[in-house]
Structures are given as C-alpha cells and as structure tokens.
A and B are shown apart, each in its own frame.
Chain A
Amino acid sequence: MSRAALLVLADGRFPAGGHAHSGGAEAAVKAGRITSAASLEDFCRGRLHTAGLVAGALAAAAALGVEPRELDAAADARTPSPALRGAARRLGRQLMRAARASWPSAELDALAGEFPKGAHQPVVLGVAARAAGLGPADAAYCAAYESVSGPATATVRLLSLDPFDATGVLARLAPELDRVADAAVEAARRVLDEGVDALPAASGPVLEIGAEWHAAWPVRLFAS
C-alpha cells in the first residue's frame, strides 16, 4: 500500500464531516478564551495534549488491530460529556462512509455493522488507516493533527482571524505533535499486552464543560 494514502486520509477536504465541527473552539471563542492567534495556540496546545493524545492512542491501537469494541468502550470512559460522545460517534459514522468508499475492507464493513450509528471517530480512523495499509504512527498523527487543525480552521471563520496566523499556529505546534504522536503509539503498543487500561486518560475539563454548554445553544455555527 502507498504511504501517500496518509495524505488522502489526513487531508482537511477528506469528506468525513469535520468541517461542521469546531473542536470546542466556538464555545471557547464565545467564552472569551480564544480572542487571537496567541490564545488560539494556547487552546490548541491544551487540546493536543489532552483530547489529541487520547484520540491518537485510540487510533494507533485500532491501527494495530486491537478489538474496536473494547477501544470504543475505552473512548466512552474517557469522554465524560454526552454531547462530545455524540459528536464523536456522528463523526465516526461519517468517516466510516468515506473510508469504506476509499479503502473497501472487511474490517471496516464489520465495524460499520457493529456500530450502525457510529463508533468513536478515532477508533474508526485507526481501522481506516489499517484498511489503507497505514500503520499506528500514521493513525496517531492523523488524530493528533485533527485535534488542532479543526479548531484552527473554525477560528478563522468565527473570529475572521487572519488565516496565515492560524496556519502559523499549527506549524509552531508541529514539534509537539511529533511528541504526542510518539507517546500515543507507545501507549497503543502497551495495549497489546496490558489491555485498554494502558491508554492515556488525559482530559480537559473545560472542553467537556464547554461542549455541554455549546450543545444547549439555540444559535450556533458549528455542530460541536
């Protein structure tokens, strides 16, 4: 399989529903926590080391062939907010459709059959990476990058932030993305011996609270 499949899977235009989600940025903008490129960077750094790390480890473990049902339950346990669980499953279902069309595979079909309303997105991402012939590090990079690229893109729309500044934020976070992806893969390999309890359980309480607050708004631009 081609390494370039990673570019297809990680492309922001891969049609898997992400464009309608802000990764918590809309709530953070409204609460005044994101007001500029500098505060966007702080927000993204926090999300990378919490939600991003967990998503990366889940994706890497799924790419290694760990039982998706166990990973999905582990993802639920690491996602206190019902709104975020719902968003993760919707995104997982949307990614499933794009992945099955792109890399038809029996494992994806089985996962779709088991979770018709969607498994957690990072779990689907890992199985999709596997179907594309990619490895755990590729899956971890995709998940970790998505954890910051989503909020950055959304903030460009929400604050009319200069898009070059937002892209600069992502570029400056690249070395930390490397470290998070490495840690995620290391944890995923431990899952093979120790089970899903070896997955990281880093969490950002303000992200969880913000997601519940956001889900109750009558007027909003993004689905989460």
Chain B
Amino acid sequence: MSSIHARIPADLAATIRKETNWSLSHRLRHGAQSVLARAYPRVFGMIREPSWLFFDLVFPILGMCSFVFLLRSRGVDDAWVSATILASALLTFWTSVIWMMAGQFRWERDSGNLTLYITAPVGLGPITLGMAVGGALGMAFRAVVIITAGSLAFGATYEIREPALLALTLLLGVSAMYALGACLAAFFLISGREADHLGDLLNEPMQLLGGVFAPIRSLGLVGMVAIGVLPLAPAADALRQIAIPQLAVSGLLPVNIELLILIVMVVVFSIGSRYALRYIERVGRAGGKLLTRAD
C-alpha cells in the first residue's frame, strides 16, 4: 500500500474535480449519445430474432384481417376497410407503448440493468427517451409492412392531399403515446406486477376508447373525455380524417384542434415523465428496493 501511495499524484483531488465538472456541451452530447445508444437494441436487436419479427407482424395482420372480413360481411363502405388498416398500423405503436415502454423498467430492474442505469452518469431521462425513439423506429417498420400488406390484400386506398400534415399528425401522435409510455413506465415500476395485469385488462377498452376500429364520435361524451386524455384517440381520429377524406365527417373534432390536443399531450406527458422518473429514483434510493434486483 505504501508503494501505491508514493505514486499517487499530489493533484489527484484537482484532477477528479476537473473530471467531474462536465460542461453543458459535454452533457448535451452525452445525452444525445445515450439516447441513440439505448435506441440501438430496440431497432437492431429485435431484427436478430426472426420469430419475434414474424409474430409481431403476423398477429397484427391477422387481427386486421378479421376486422376487414367482418366489415365486408356487413357490406360496410370500403373507406372503413382503409380506416381499419390505418388503425392497425397505429395500434402497433400503442401496443409497443404498453408492452415495451410501460413494463420496461420492471424488466430492466429484474435483469439488473436499472441498477447500472442509475449508477451511470446518464440519468433515466435519456435512457427513457432512447427506449421511446428505438421503439417508435422499430414499430414504424412494422406499421409500414401492415399498411402495405393490407393495401395489397384488400385494395385499400388513401387520398393524402396534405402529406406534411399527415406526417406531423403521425409524429405528434406517436410522440404523445411514447411520452405517456414514459409516465406509465414509472407507474408500472412502482405498482409492480399488478400494473401488468391492469394493462392487460385495459387493452381492449383502451382500443375502444381510442376509436381505433370505430369512430370515437359514436361514443359521445365518453369519446370527448377519451380524446382529452388518451393520445390514441385524437391521433386515430385525425389520421382518419387526413388520409381518408370521405370519412372526415365522422371525425369528432377538426384536425387542427386534435393536433393542438396532441401538442398539449406531448408537453404535459413529457414534463410528467420527467417528474415521474425523478420520483422513482428518489423513492428507490430512499426505500432501497425499487431500483435493484431482488437477491
């Protein structure tokens, strides 16, 4: 030990002080790199498991087909077939929010990753954003496949007069969904396994309230409430109005209002998730069990 001490630099404390004093640009670069690093396994990791890819695509397509066959058997206008295919694509994002965002921190905790994230100098914010970015990119591929397959199989058509508006709506809708997912991630971590069960139970009601396969307008007051709290609802309603003009009359609110609602949701859920992530870290450090794997 004495020989080690003899070689320790006299200015070690100053060196460490300098090392730990990160500039704003350093922190911004670090945050951006961390987002991309955490997104990586979501985008590329999943491609490596062909069975996951197969089932992630086949099951939603089968679900979509059953709805389309039902609509056709009832002689419903083909515009609703196009709407169903569009809704199925949107639903892949929502499923990912429930399965791969909300429940993720519990999985990360049980696998030991959460401990490493907490003790790394990155913070949970960029990690969560990376989860969302990676999830959204991974699901975008699935959504494109679903729309392509649905369009080819059922001859669905879309009349997109304002592609920029469509892209903006999709971006805002997906952002709002994943921002809500970040809040839910903290809630699910605190609530434990019960939250998973609740998520499963509420899956179908959420789709109904989200107006995925039927116009939310038909839900009346309940629909109005849903459109104010559930990102899926204004996103689905607005996308249907933009991509299928003949269904614009079935929209609950004008597209501009629904975009405004989505913007508010993105802001509120993003701020909420920031507080929620800080809260779980604070509670976890105080309680001792939330952040670390049970031995």
**A and B co-occur in one complex:** no
Which residues of B line the A interface, CB within 8 A? none
Q: Which residues of A contact B (CB under 8 A)?
A: none
